[in-house]
Amino acid sequence: MDWQIRPLTPERVEDFFTFFNRVAFSDHPEWGCGCYCCFFHATDRAEWDRRTPEENAAEARRMILADQMRGLLAYDGETPVGWLHFDRLMNLPGARVFYPQVAGTDDASAAIVCFTIAQGYRGRGLTTALLSAALSALKAEGVARVEAYPMTQDDDPEHNYHGPLSLYRKLGFAAVRADAHNTLVEKRL
């Protein structure tokens, strides 16, 4: 496919919000985006549970404009059609708060935490393209290890926002441990 994959930058903040507010969930509004990919930046469960979608949107805007949220946007022409949120684990405190199975804590470890793909683009290889681009970027920066937390049962598209387990296996990730909900997978770069 002829997608363009571009890093999230302050100049692309409106593309991020166009994607999440208009494109991403057009076929399943009940999936909705109340998180705006702030979940992995939260440091306290009780505080997270009290936050509103409006607060998350404001926090996402603040982080993007301050260049503190890292991700990739996929475009079809000028329309954003996919999103991948990733960063070094030291920049994602929520990974340790919400996922006790997190393995890496050093600055040479990174995590893939969220995918969102627009209707009409799912099942066409865009998730693989986004993950491959993120892995290339992380490797170029000297990241040694990447982890992710896909659902243990990956047959439910609504809950596959971490990316399906089968995707990670296809790209060489190995399962480290699993519980009833998530499987911790990792890949050495």
Work out how many domains the chain is built from and give that number: 1
CATH number at residue 45: 3.40.630.30
Q: Which residues pair with 116 in a beta bridge?
A: 83
Q: Are 112 and 162 in contact (CB under 8 A)?
A: yes
Three-state DSSP state, 131: helix
- pLDDT tens per residue across span 10-35: 999 999 999 999 888 777 666 667 88
- φ, ψ of residue 42 to 5 degrees: the values are -75, 150
- pLDDT tens per residue across span 74-99: 999 999 999 999 999 999 988 888 77
Range of the domain at 160: 4-188
Q: Are 149 and 179 in contact (CB under 8 A)?
A: no
Tens-binned pLDDT, residue by residue, of the chain (189 aa) = 689 999 999 999 999 999 999 888 777 666 667 889 999 999 988 988 999 999 999 999 999 999 999 999 999 999 999 999 999 999 998 888 877 666 666 778 999 999 999 988 988 999 999 999 999 999 999 999 999 999 887 666 667 888 999 999 999 999 998 888 889 999 999
Q: How far is CA 108 from CA 43, 52, 97, 105, in A?
A: 21, 33, 19, 8
Q: Structure pTM?
A: 0.92
